[in-house]
């Protein structure tokens, strides 16, 4: 399955805009979401090919949203890559335990992220 539509989940408008620009210039369709709660609802409706999930958000955090998405019958097929702050090894491990397929660290290395997206597609 080629990845075409990517959902970006981040509570920072700056981060969302950065990700949207980086991904759209590479031909991906981008769906922007600002919370874990909304990500769960929108993943069911929009059925993206991939979700990039920030782990730190107010309310339902990225770990909780990842767990809900990867365990729901209608969305468990959607791979999730968590985005965590540099050097937070526990975040990486916890994200993978919640069902994420991979992780990237912030600040993002664009080429590394694109390689991971292509590897899942």
pTM equals 0.93
**Could you report the per-residue pLDDT of 7-48, keeping only the tens digit for each?**
999 999 999 999 999 999 999 999 999 999 999 999 999 999
Fold of 5-120: Rossmann fold (3.40.50)
Could you give the C-alpha distances from 62 to 1, 4, 19, 59, 114, in angstroms and in order? 25, 22, 17, 9, 20
């Amino acid at each position: 399955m080629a990845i075409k539509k990517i959902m970006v989940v981040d509570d920072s408008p700056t981060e969302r805009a950065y990700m949207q620009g980086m991904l759209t210039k590479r031909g991906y369709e981008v769906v922007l979401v600002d919370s874990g709660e909304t990500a769960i609802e929108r993943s069911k409706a929009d059925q993206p090919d991939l979700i990039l999930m920030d782990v730190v958000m107010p309310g339902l955090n990225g770990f909780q949203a990842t767990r809900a998405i990867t365990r729901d019958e209608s969305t468990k097929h959607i791979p999730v890559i968590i985005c965590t702050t540099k050097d937070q090894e526990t975040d990486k491990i916890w994200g993978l335990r919640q069902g994420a397929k991979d992780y990237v660290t912030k600040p993002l290395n664009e080429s590394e992220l694109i390689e991971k997206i292509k590897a899942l597609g």
